[in-house]
Amino acid sequence: MFVNTLQNKLRGPCQRSNFHIHAGTGPGTCGAYAIDDVISNYKAVGYTCLCLSNHNLLTDPATFDNRGLNMIPGYEYTSDKHLVCLGAKTMAFDPADTSDEALQKAAETCVSEGGFAILCHPHWPEEWHTGREFLDRTFGFEGIEVFNAATDRDVGAKGRTACMNAQDYLLSRGRLVWGVGSDDFHRWWHLAAGWNMIYADNTPEAIIKALKAGEFYVSSGLRLMDLSIIEDRLHVEVCNPSGYVDEYRYRFVGRHGRLLKTVESASADYMLCGDEGYVRVEVYCPGGNVLLTQPVYDTEFFKENNK
Amino acid sequence: MFVNPYKDCFEKKPLKCTFHTHAGTGPGTCGAYGIDDVLALYKELGFDSLCISNHNLYTDPAEYEKKHGILLFPGYEYTKWEHMVCLGTDKVLVPHPETMAPLEDPVTPYQAAIDGCNADGGFPILCHPNWPVEWALSKGFLSSVHRMRAIEAHNGSCGSNAWDHVLSGGRLIWGVGSDDFHRWWNLARSWNVVYADRDKPSIMAALKAGAFYASTGLALQGLTLDSDKISVEVINPNDYRDEFNFKFFGADGRLLKEVNEETATYRLKGGEKYVRVEVMNNAGRKLYTQPVYDDEYLSIEE
């Protein structure tokens, strides 16, 4: 049976969120600007929920003015690979330990404290840096960045912003991991370029609960109007928040990243055959704004394959 | 005969340029930050040339050019009902608000600003055709104004519908990418790659000849016209391989061909008037080429 995490969920409150922000100018922050400047700008552009995720540095939201935004504590575990530990309460690891086990332990600690661990930018600083073998042997994270807007923006950057193929790799092996959008904010040109729309009340607990349930989507400028399964028909409709009518390119993607169907229209349908394992949708507007849904997934496929 | 504006371009070093920037915090600037702060970031991001184009306000760029080592064109944004970047001029030709009744004849003063910019050797760029609403630059308005040299193909969103409308009427104008920078979240989202020597006369000549393309993150490696075959090669500047979505558009914005590959070709069938290409990767990064055009049908309006 296919499960759609957003079935009948789109009418509730929705929070625009980014959990990967470096801010503050003290040691370890890797930030270039004061926390208050960064939060003020995110607020001005319409965000409601953020996490300051400095490198191996837990920033307590009680220590700065949240400007009315929901600030979830967290940090970015930073070794050879990176991991945003959203909702983490402690950092119990040796930063010099670059082993995969150390990252997994950080993820497990975060989750045991009620948090949500997000594997970062699998294609930075080079393609498949966080490679398939690493993904095969490392567990504990529940999210992976499918869109990291900063990794291709700096001069000389060698990263890839779109990382949906890494999520496909995990999903195809029966590991239900949710796709996350991030700015990976360091500098102003990273601001508000990739985010999450989360269907939840705006408290840390409700946001993390919704993330764990996959009740969100990733966007760089499009809004989800409908994602529903009626009998075997998967229906998707997006809109341009600027209000004008666009023709969108919908790509339905299945196991191993296989392209199942492309539709160029205002909305799109896909008839589920039953053997897909999962189907996720990428949507592109003519201006290049993107929307990435979570997979609708076959519970049997994930039960059989996730040994 | 079909003309390829990119012929001989690829021997030149590509320059990164943006011409629609609001900066400075004084009256009329519509800027939110100091000019030095804004220019320093554009410089850091590798921009070679820029124009501070404040609303109906000329900003003398001389001292900033020297300070930041970035080529600064004079200019302003004509801002009444419709907007236009008047690039390469220091004369602001905007009617005083008290001399014009609201909604009275938007065309005449706009045309005077276009002609004034051209007379100064400049390059008038029609702005954001789909802002604040779709077709904000209406078909009627676009047909009534003349001798503009370019239109924003990308300003936050896609403006190719208005561009196609002008091209389809036989008037050759070029597509420009703009940040329309006001706030940090507008910074370095779309720009122009201009094939020119690194000086302002050379850049201006290249703009007028269509020797540039608009980008939001992709790089053009080649665009050739060999007999009746157009070949387009695009790369992701960060070195990794991508499959791109190529769309070849013709008159009236008709989609002539779509290709999902690393490179793409289009064979002219005759009667196309023009063919331009939009390319997108799977992160939504884009590139807009100028049209390869039939010079019997399309020309720059004198």
Q: What is the DSSP string of B240-274?
A: ----EEEEEE-GGG-EEEEEEESEEEEE--S--SE
Give which of B157, B181, B242, B260 to mutate to test A binding, by max A Cβ within 10 Å: B157
Are residues A189 and B41, on separate chains, in Cβ contact within 8 Å? yes
Q: Is the pLDDT of residue A181 over 90?
A: yes
CA angle B56, B59, B60 (to 5 degrees): 145
Closest partner residue to A158 among B158, B239, B284, by Cβ? B239
- The whole-number pLDDT of residue A72 equals 98
Segment (H or E) for A297: strand A296-298
CATH of A2-219, picked from 3.40.50.2300, 3.30.2420.10, 3.20.20.140, 3.10.310.10, is 3.20.20.140
- The whole-number pLDDT of residue B99 equals 66
Q: Is the pLDDT of residue A68 over 80?
A: yes
Structure token digits, residue A48: 């409601």
Q: With a cut of 50, which residues of chain B have pLDDT below it? A: none
pLDDT in tens, A28-39: 788 899 999 999
Q: How far apart are CA B137 and CA B162, in angstroms?
A: 7
- The whole-number pLDDT of residue B98 equals 65
Give which of B16, B18, B238 to mutate to test A binding, by max A Cβ within 10 Å: B238
The residue written with tokens 């296919």 in the block is: A2
| Amino acid present at B207 | L
Closest partner residue to A160 among B157, B240, B286, by Cβ? B240
Count of domains forming chain B: 1
Residue B289 lies in a domain: no
**Domain of residue B61, residue span:** 2-98+105-214
Mean pLDDT of the residues in chain A: 95
Question: Of A81, A35, A90, A34, whose CA–CA distance to A57 is shortest?
Answer: A90
| Amino acid present at A18 | N
- The whole-number pLDDT of residue B31 equals 83
For B133, the closest chain A residue by CA position comes to: A244
Average pLDDT over residues A250-265: 97
Are residues B284 and A41, on separate chains, in Cβ contact within 8 Å? no
Q: Is the pLDDT of residue A307 over 70?
A: no
pLDDT in tens, A105-154: 999 999 999 999 999 999 999 999 999 999 999 999 999 999 999 998 88
For B288, the closest chain A residue by CA position comes to: A287
| Amino acid present at A276 | E
Give which of A188, A190, A282 to mutate to test B binding, by max B Cβ within 10 Å: A188
Smallest Cα distance from B33 to chain A, Å: 12
- The whole-number pLDDT of residue B103 equals 59
- Work out the number of other CB atoms within 10 angstroms of the CB of residue A75: 24
Q: How far apart are CA A272 and CA A257, in angstroms?
A: 16
Mean pLDDT lowest for which of A189-203, A239-253, B136-150, B210-224? Answer: A239-253
Q: How far apart are CA B135 and CA B141, in angstroms?
A: 10
Question: Of B263, B208, B214, whose CA–CA distance to B234 is shortest?
Answer: B263
For B130, the closest chain A residue by CA position comes to: A244
Residue B158 lies in a domain: yes
The DSSP secondary-structure symbol of A190 reads: G
Residue B234 lies in a domain: no
Q: What is the CATH number of the domain that holds B130?
A: 3.20.20.140
Domain boundaries, chain A: 2-219, 223-305
Are residues A155 and B41, on separate chains, in Cβ contact within 8 Å? no
Give which of A284, A285, A289, A291 to mutate to test B binding, by max B Cβ within 10 Å: A284
Are residues A152 and B278, on separate chains, in Cβ contact within 8 Å? no
Smallest Cα distance from B106 to chain A, Å: 24
Query: CATH for A223-305?
Result: 2.60.40.730
Chain B CB contacts of A153 below 8 Å = 188, 217
Residue B272 lies in a domain: no
Are residues A287 and B157, on separate chains, in Cβ contact within 8 Å? yes
Asked if the C-beta of B128 comes within 8 angstroms of chain A's C-beta atoms, the answer is no
Smallest Cα distance from B239 to chain A, Å: 7
Question: Quick check: B147 and B178 in contact, CB under 8 A?
Answer: no
CA angle A263, A268, A270 (to 5 degrees): 90
Are residues B238 and A157, on separate chains, in Cβ contact within 8 Å? yes
Residue B284 lies in a domain: no
* B 39-68 near A (Cβ less than 8 A): 41, 44-46
Residue B226 lies in a domain: no
Residue B157 lies in a domain: yes
- The whole-number pLDDT of residue B101 equals 63
Which has more confidence, A156 or A261? A261
Residue B251 lies in a domain: no
Q: How far apart are CA A119 and CA A104, in angstroms?
A: 10
Asked if the C-beta of A240 comes within 8 angstroms of chain B's C-beta atoms, the answer is yes
Q: How far apart are CA A46 and CA A17, in angstroms?
A: 9
CA angle A239, A210, A235 (to 5 degrees): 35
